[in-house]
Amino acid sequence: LSLAAPKIDGVLICPGETFSLWQLVGKCKASMGYREGVTISNAKVSSGVGGGMCQLSNLIHWMVLHSPLEIVEHHHHDGFDLFPDYNRKVPFGTGTSITYNYLDYRFKNTTDNTYQLCIYVNEKELCGELRSDAPAEYEYEIRTENEMFVREGEEVYRLGEVYRKCTDIKSGNIIGDTCIRKNHAKVMYDIDDSKISVTGEKI
């Protein structure tokens, strides 16, 4: 992450332009200093050079969700809940999956404003800012509803919907409240029976 972040830090996305993560970062090679990290493929956790890069796309995606920028390419770790929640700070289902040169994360600036991504790493955290050359007109809230664990046959699945609410800052009027993701993810870890809903109760 400390190698990739500077390649994105400070980039401007002008009106009409499309941001591509891999176009800026390029392939993560050991010869460039990238190390082994966690990779996820076919619902299995493994390791590979440059593993963990999805943390970078996750951060960018989270910021873009709180802006009027238009997401044009976004892939999920579809269908699997791989790890139990531990100090979760963002809703389940808002992550990303990227694989060089196949799965990219891209968004387009369809506004009249210029945006800037600032990405940096400190001793413990990956940090980011999304800046604009004009004050924001809207604020955004991302939340989950109807989230629960259910048993389907011999398997347990995590269900829920992710909503994105847009509010006009000046008037306080709600512009839209849209379901952007419906989760139906197979749980890949042991879970206590007490957490599995039998009556449709939420988590």
- Provide the pLDDT confidence category of residue 27 given band limits of 50, 70 and 90: very high
Does the pLDDT of residue 40 top 70, yes or no?
A: yes
Average confidence score pLDDT of the chain: 92
Query: In DSSP terms, which residues pair with 36 in a beta bridge?
Result: 49
Cα separation of 182 and 148, whole Å? 12
Question: pLDDT for 42-60, tens place per residue?
Answer: 667 788 888 889 999 999 9
DSSP 8-state assignment for residue 132: E
Percent of the chain at pLDDT exceeding 70: 96
Q: First vs last Cα of the chain: how many Å apart?
A: 33
- Provide the pLDDT confidence category of residue 201 given band limits of 50, 70 and 90: low
Residue 11 CB coordination number (10 Å): 14
Q: What is residue 116's three-state secondary structure?
A: strand
Model pTM? 0.91
| Position with higher pLDDT, 139 vs 198 | 139
Does the pLDDT of residue 61 top 80, yes or no?
A: yes
Lowest mean pLDDT among 24-28, 89-93, 176-180: 89-93
